[in-house]
Structure 1
Amino acid sequence: MNADDEKVLDSYRFFLLLSEISGEEQLSQRELAKRLGIALGLVNSYLKNLVAKGYVRVANFPKNRYAYLLTPKGFAEKSRLAYQHLSYFSGLYTVARQDYLRLFRRLAADGTRRVAFCGVDETAEIAYLSLKEVGLELELVMDQCGAGQLFFEQPVLAPGEGLAAAPGKIVITSLKRGDALREELLRLGVEPAAIYDASAAVAE
């Protein structure tokens, strides 16, 4: 991921964080990290940044619990980012579609017939369309956050459960949680060479 992609991803995470904080629930840092699918330390860093900019304020609640609340300035920033990322995601479809087509065509040329997806969000849906166009089969879908749900009639499995089925090639199919998903797969013992990322394939 290049520097421009990192900036876009950070901006998108800021937007997601502001969106979660703007809801009625009082969420802890741990709860925010779980919802966004990123590390607790990263959420802490983002929140400090948002507080410093005046977008978020910290409120004390009983039992030594903290809550994060959007300021008027924070609501304005959330609206600005929403507009910015609407434009971004209209372009994401075209870019991601081509990236996944390139990756799947390369895998098909190497003799691959089936792949597993790791990560379920709007990027995974784009990846699925590219997969079907190339003619590969979806072996299984993994995502701790979406375990138990269906993805195009395919049950979503927790990574530990999915890996027990011994999938071959695993494709990261989430933009916003790609790094976290890769780290989880590696922690569970998956060889780095078995993990594929469409954006990385572009540079090859």
Structure 2
Amino acid sequence: MNSTYDKEHMILTQIDANPDATQRDLSRHTGLSLGSVNLLLKKMAKEGLIKIESIPAHRVAYMLTPKGMAEKANKTVNYIKRHYNAINHTKEVMKTTFTQLLTQHPALYVLHTDDEIGALVVTAVEELNNPAIIVINDMESAQEPKVPLVHCLPNQPHSSLAYTNPTINLLEKL
């Protein structure tokens, strides 16, 4: 999320959700520096996406203009499309990796984790529809010796998995 496009989307979303937000609030909620927020607010005001009004106690309020609302909707759609495409690409790379691993091994155990990556792995396995890929929820379910365990545990040393069969970190293959 490093592009100006995504940064503007984050700020527009925050202003829409909380028009009373200060620049510091916007900085804290978006993870952007205070200087970046200030520059982007000035840019968006100049483009007519937001309106800046002074209010008592030396504060300002930010409001989306109709043009800003339309731009926020457009940025949201494009944001979803870009991220969906990235997720879909990652799933396809997973499927290719599983297929390549099956040329080296007769079967694979795939450890399902209860998170977004785990859901994506399960979707990739289901789409391959190959009975040689066995999804398991815990390492104790791996019954066949010498069948590798494929996992998506970041920064997990193989020795700490307490699994005697070979282990393959799918994240390292992506």
Tell me whether 1:41 sits opposite 2:35 in the alignment: yes
SS in structure 1 of the partner of residue 17 of structure 2:
coil
Name which of 72, 82, 86 aligns with 1:88: 82
Q: Map of 1:108-147 to 2, 5 A cutoff?
A: 125-126=116-117, 134-135=150-151, 137-138=153-154
Name the CA distance, whole Å, in 2 between partners of 1:36 and 1:87: 20
Asked which structure has the greater CA Rg, the reply is 2
1:11-160 paired onto structure 2 within 5 Å:
11-96=5-90, 125-126=116-117, 134-135=150-151, 137-138=153-154
Question: Does 1 or 2 have the higher relative contact order (CA < 8 Å, sep 6+)?
Answer: 1
In structure 2, what is the Cα distance between the partners aligned to 1:33 and 1:99? 35
- Describe the shift of the 1:87–1:66 C-alpha distance in structure 2 as closer, same or farther (beyond 3 A): same
Q: How many equivalent pairs are there?
A: 116
8 Å CA contact 1:19, 1:78 repeated in 2: yes
TM-score, normalization by structure 2: 0.53
Question: Offset of 1:50 from its aligned partner?
Answer: 0.4
RMSD: 3.6
Residue aligned with 1:137, SS = coil
In 1, the alpha carbon distance for the partners of 2:45 and 2:118 equals 36
Deviation for aligned residue 1:86: 2.1
